[in-house]
Amino acid sequence: MAEALQQQEMEDGDQPDATDEDSQSDERSESELDPERARRRAAALAHVRTFGDPVLKSKARPVERFDEALRAEIAHMGALMHDGMGIGLAATQLGVLHRVLVYRVQQEAPIATLVNPVLDWKGSEQEIGEEGCLSLPGVHVDVERPVHVRVSAQDERGDPIVVEASGLEARVIQHEVDHLDGVLILDRTSREQRKQAIRTLREAQQRA
């Protein structure tokens, strides 16, 4: 998910593991990617804000102008998500405080866009799943979320849309909406997993 949210998007012929997500990722080591794919992934991830950046804890503002600039922003987000091998990305992860997210849970599906998304309904059934995040590299934690949701939003031209999602799609959407509200998966996991995740992130920052 980021959010999206990240289960790593697989190469052609591979299928994503439904238990991972940006929302989420079993990160494939760079050595397993061909050099061009690895280069594109690294270039995309360089645009993504990571742990410690205050924008990740900021709440995005509603989009009011549906113009070519917005559509260019959405296209850029989709390209970065694809190259970064994520399945979800929120605008805040790129330092843009717009209520915009993109996602794709099936490799062959078109990239979906939700502008000004609102979670209108969440089902009572809950499920715990492992989530990762492009903004929290190397971290995977357990997060409990509703299995079924309904979301109202707008498309890139401002037309109203409604999405009823279940399973992985619902998880990815919730993960990315959290990003737009300044909420990270670290805020939704257990205290023990949060402490270990922060330790992992700080160690990685020190090595860098």
Contacts of 200 (CB under 8 A, 6+ apart): 138, 139
Active-site residue among 131, 176, 192, 203?
A: 176
DSSP lists the bridge partners of residue 149 as: 122, 165
Alpha carbon distances (Å) from 90 to 93, 132, 200:
6, 14, 23
Q: CA-to-CA distance for 133 and 24, rounded, in angstroms? A: 5
> Does the annotation mark 11 as catalytic?
no
Q: How buried is residue 148: exposed, middle or buried, by Cβ count under 10 Å (0-12/13-18/19+)?
A: middle
Residues marked as catalytic? 176
